[in-house]
Amino acid sequence: MTLTVRLSPHLRQQLDSYCKTRRVTKTHVITELLSDHLSSASKSGKTPYQLAREFGVIGSFSSGKGDLAENRKQYLVEKLRAKHSR
């Protein structure tokens, strides 16, 4: 399979230099990097939700309103009325 990747000039220069120094092809380097990256990503077996939960991204911003998802329209209307009544 042929794959085209756009690299910044700086990254392209680094890749060229790396390949010349080690006497390997660009294809070899990219294939190895992708293989390593994909195998390590699949080893964790965690979903994006699980990772976000572990990093504390989900639920980190509390509104103090437990029914915000169900009553979002009502809260939005109240907020807009308060803003425009000034």
Q: What is the pLDDT of residues 27-85, one digit of tens each?
A: 999 999 988 888 776 666 777 777 777 777 776 566 777 787 888 899 889 988 888 87
| pTM for the predicted model, two decimal places | 0.47
**What are the distances in angstroms from CA 85 to CA 6, 18, 74?**
52, 64, 16
Tokens describing residue 52: 């976000």
- Read off the tokens for 83: 């803003």
